């Protein structure tokens, strides 16, 4: 029996004997004549049933609709008139000024319009807190999931997620579109860094992120330091075939996963089973990508947003998911057919809430017409709305619809940043360390080169203040890797392009890597993206490692880069991934304040043409194997 069923039974049992189980805040007794759905002493199931019975079709369809804040910001009455169930901030969609208080004021402003509806149903506000509350300036920015996978530390992942939930909920959003439990099988994918790794067993272990976000049981969701989690993108988003994307100018993102039912269950589905059955995740986001069965003759690719077999038969019925499905951004627009067909197909496949950033009114009108024409059963609508309302009751939104700002002072706190710093240190993977080059000594004269040594934006990557992220040191507070090095060594020269004289130094430290990107924009082959090193990075390695006796290279990137030719010139090589705001964590292992302990969460290819390459492949011959990582004392 899942924990929350037990809690519900306990609540019912105690309610029957007259002693209500205390909610997360002081227990209040509802005044006489209170409508059952407003009586928090009653089981959630009973409150849902009572509210559903009171709702009109328009109110039900409104609950299934999510709009981007930008589409209602200048006419917030639309929230009331459309009876919207939810709003979101897309990547970078923040209030101005982008401060915790402004966020909370913004969300509460929207909420007041939702509470002006006939039944006063509060909205859910969703945001992509995928490595901390990344849209918020001043938030603690954790390493992206690929680095968290390298830590092999599920408890740390849970702790980081709890901090993320605390900083998010204190600013208003009660729902995050995280964690991505994608299993990245081809690093040419622009979202590879959003994955914990290529091994579904590792990714399943890291679903502790759900518990960190939601808490250990359903009743935690009402707390001011927890949020509703979303595991995404269901499923096979990281297992698509390179070159099969038919959307925009992406090449692998949103492509086709060609697989058998057996392999799909082993690779792509496994993390969702854990997220649902162990952690009771409250929502799931289907992927833009498609699945084409190799064990079904004549099988055609079907978009996940339209995949009834996988959304309803497998996820909801077989695996037992009792939360709600939220579509990805305009994702139903990629289903074949006109808009009415797209809406009908997706809702009948099992989609419950629809992320329709800028066409919410059209969606509402279309779905209403489909129900009235009998092409969508009212029972399907009632199922979807019940799932959505369940989350809202469990989050305590009917009792406390406005932001509880108690924890707003903890945002970006030293305590939170210390946890992120530890995560950075544990995520570093030491791949080469000849002559015990590392750890460095404070007395050594260091020559540091490479833009990524001193660029907060590059070390944080996408989904940081803006959707795509941005280079530079002005967007948000944090410490760069160079700043961390300078705190540990007395004699440090920095020359981003290695143009400064190189004589008289003991160790050269060259930081290579990528600039930020998000989603298919980062696909190899799009916008010049490649796994190969940039000319500037190659030149820096050539110049510094040929001039200075000992040479250390750090790679600040979202994915494995091709370093086969450069590796022999180095004495030590470290994969730093995308560490986020706490560059000090990199210096901690460079100078031995913490040991190197990270392990590769993906296989490291010798060349781009080796992708996809994954542990368990026949003729497996990577530059560094999955799970590889040297340690230091």
| Min CB(445)–ligand GLC separation in Å | 45
Q: Are 343 and 272 in contact (CB under 8 A)?
A: no
Vertex 134, ends 130 and 137: CA angle to 5°?
A: 170
Helices (H) and strands (E) in the chain, counts: 20, 17
Nearer to ligand GLC, 51 or 213 (CB): 213
Q: Are 287 and 310 in contact (CB under 8 A)?
A: no
Nearer to ligand GLC, 225 or 519 (CB): 519
| Min CB(275)–ligand GLC separation in Å | 15
Antiparallel, parallel or unpaired: β 283-286 and 230-234: parallel
Q: Based on the shown chain and the rule CB under 6 A, indicate whether residue 333 belongs to the binding site for ligand GLC.
A: no
Q: Are 202 and 220 in contact (CB under 8 A)?
A: no
Q: Based on the shown chain and the rule CB under 6 A, indicate whether residue 329 belongs to the binding site for ligand GLC.
A: yes
Residues numbered 77 to 116 that lie near ligand GLC (CB under 6 A) are 90-91
Q: Are 507 and 548 in contact (CB under 8 A)?
A: yes
Calculate the dihedral angle through the C-alpha atoms of 235, 240, 246, 247, rounding to the nearest 10 degrees: 50
Nearer to ligand GLC, 91 or 450 (CB): 91
Nearer to ligand GLC, 211 or 519 (CB): 519
Q: Based on the shown chain and the rule CB under 6 A, indicate whether residue 328 belongs to the binding site for ligand GLC.
A: yes
Q: Based on the shown chain and the rule CB under 6 A, indicate whether residue 279 belongs to the binding site for ligand GLC.
A: no
328 is an active site residue = yes
| Min CB(148)–ligand GLC separation in Å | 17
| Min CB(426)–ligand GLC separation in Å | 25
Closest CA to 53 of 41, 76, 36, 65: 36
Nearer to ligand GLC, 329 or 402 (CB): 329
Nearer to ligand GLC, 314 or 326 (CB): 326
Binding mask 207-246 for ligand GLC (x = CB under 6 A): -------------------------x--------------
Nearer to ligand GLC, 514 or 519 (CB): 519
- Helices within 404-556 (DSSP H only): 414-427, 456-460, 481-486, 535-547
Binding mask 41-80 for ligand GLC (x = CB under 6 A): ----------------------------------------
| Min CB(162)–ligand GLC separation in Å | 20
Nearer to ligand GLC, 232 or 307 (CB): 232
Q: Based on the shown chain and the rule CB under 6 A, indicate whether residue 594 belongs to the binding site for ligand GLC.
A: no
Whole-number Cα distances in Å, 59 to 120, 207, 342, 438, 494: 11, 34, 21, 62, 61
Residues numbered 127 to 186 that lie near ligand GLC (CB under 6 A) are 128, 177
| Min CB(327)–ligand GLC separation in Å | 9
Q: Which residues contact 202 (CB under 8 A, 6 or more apart)?
A: 149, 152, 196, 601
Residue nearest to ligand GLC (CB): 177
| Min CB(576)–ligand GLC separation in Å | 24
Antiparallel, parallel or unpaired: β 354-355 and 65-68: parallel
Among residues 198, 519, 537, 584, the one annotated as catalytic is 519
The secondary element (H helix, E strand) that includes residue 11 is helix 3-16
Nearer to ligand GLC, 519 or 611 (CB): 519
Residues numbered 484 to 523 that lie near ligand GLC (CB under 6 A) are 519
| Min CB(81)–ligand GLC separation in Å | 24
Binding mask 517-536 for ligand GLC (x = CB under 6 A): --x-----------------
**Number of CB atoms found within 10 A of residue 27's CB:** 12
Burial of 631 (0-12, 13-18, 19+ CB in 10 A): exposed
519 is an active site residue = yes
Number of residues that bind ligand GLC (CB under 6 A): 8
DSSP labels, 518-574: -GGGGSTTSTT--SBPPHHHHHHHHHHHHHSSEEEEEEESSS--B-TTTGGG-SEEE
- The DSSP output letter for 313 is I
- Report the C-alpha gap between 439 and 430 in whole angstroms: 11
- Report the C-alpha gap between 410 and 23 in whole angstroms: 24
Among residues 186, 198, 225, 328, the one annotated as catalytic is 328
| Min CB(288)–ligand GLC separation in Å | 7
Contact residues toward ligand GLC (CB under 6 A) are 90-91, 128, 177, 232, 328-329, 519
The catalytic residues are 328, 519
């Amino acid at each position: 029996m899942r924990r929350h069923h037990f809690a519900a039974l306990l609540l019912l049992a105690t309610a029957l004997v007259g002693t209500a189980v205390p909610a997360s805040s002081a227990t209040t007794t509802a005044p006489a004549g209170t409508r059952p759905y407003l009586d928090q002493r009653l089981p959630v199931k009973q409150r849902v049933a009572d509210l559903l019975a009171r709702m009109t079709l328009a109110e039900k369809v409104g609950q299934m609709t999510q709009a981007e804040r930008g589409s209602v910001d200048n006419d917030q009455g639309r929230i009331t008139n459309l009876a919207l169930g939810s709003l979101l901030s897309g990547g970078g969609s923040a209030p101005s000024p982008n401060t915790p208080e402004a966020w909370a004021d913004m969300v509460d402003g929207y909420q007041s319009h939702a509470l002006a509806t006939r039944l006063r149903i509060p909205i859910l506000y969703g945001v992509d807190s995928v490595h901390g509350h990344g849209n918020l300036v001043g938030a603690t920015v954790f390493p992206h999931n690929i680095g968290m996978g390298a830590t092999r530390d599920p408890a740390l992942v849970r702790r980081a997620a709890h901090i993320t939930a605390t900083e998010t909920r204190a600013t208003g959003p009660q729902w995050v579109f995280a964690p991505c439990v994608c299993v990245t099988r081809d690093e040419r994918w622009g979202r590879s860094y959003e994955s914990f790794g290529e091994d579904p067993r590792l990714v399943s272990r890291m679903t502790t992120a759900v518990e960190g976000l939601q808490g250990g049981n359903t009743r935690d969701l009402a707390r001011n330091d927890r949020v509703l989690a979303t595991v995404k993108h269901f499923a096979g988003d990281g297992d698509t075939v390179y070159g099969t994307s038919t959307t925009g100018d992406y090449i692998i993102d949103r492509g086709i996963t060609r697989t058998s039912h057996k392999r799909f269950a082993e690779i792509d589905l496994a993390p969702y089973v854990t997220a649902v059955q162990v952690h009771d995740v409250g929502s799931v986001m289907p992927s833009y990508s498609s699945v084409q069965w190799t064990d079904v003759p004549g099988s055609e690719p079907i978009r996940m947003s339209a995949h009834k077999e996988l959304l309803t038969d497998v996820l909801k019925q077989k695996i037992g998911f009792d939360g709600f499905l939220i579509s990805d951004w305009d994702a139903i627009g990629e289903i074949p057919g006109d808009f009415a067909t797209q809406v009908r197909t997706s809702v009948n496949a099992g989609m419950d809430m629809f992320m329709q950033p800028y066409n919410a009114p059209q969606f509402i009108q279309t779905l209403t017409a489909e129900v009235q024409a009998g092409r969508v059963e009212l029972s399907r609508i009632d199922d979807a709305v019940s799932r959505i309302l369940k989350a809202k009751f469990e989050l305590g939104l009917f009792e406390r619809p406005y932001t509880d700002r108690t924890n707003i002072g903890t945002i970006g706190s030293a305590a939170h940043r210390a946890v992120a710093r530890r995560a950075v240190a544990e995520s570093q993977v030491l791949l080469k360390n000849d002559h015990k080059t590392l750890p460095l000594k404070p007395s050594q004269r260091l020559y540091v080169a490479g833009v990524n040594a001193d660029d907060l934006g590059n070390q944080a990557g996408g989904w940081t203040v803006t959707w795509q992220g941005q280079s530079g040191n002005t967007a948000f507070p944090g410490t760069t890797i160079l700043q961390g090095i300078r705190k540990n060594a007395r004699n440090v020269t920095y020359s981003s392009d290695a143009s400064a004289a190189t004589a008289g130094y003991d160790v050269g430290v060259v930081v290579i890597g990528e600039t930020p990107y998000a989603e298919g924009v980062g696909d190899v082959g799009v916008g010049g993206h490649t796994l190969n090193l940039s000319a500037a990075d190659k030149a820096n390695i050539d110049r510094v490692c040929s001039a200075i006796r000992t040479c250390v290279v750090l790679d600040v990137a979202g994915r494995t880069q091709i370093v086969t030719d450069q590796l022999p010139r180095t004495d030590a090589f470290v994969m730093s991934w995308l560490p986020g705001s706490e560059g000090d964590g990199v210096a901690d292992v460079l100078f031995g304040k913490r040991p190197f302990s990270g392990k590769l969460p993906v296989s490291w290819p010798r060349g781009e043409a080796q992708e996809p390459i994954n542990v368990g492949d026949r003729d497996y011959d990577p530059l560094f194997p999955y799970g590889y990582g040297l340690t230091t004392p």
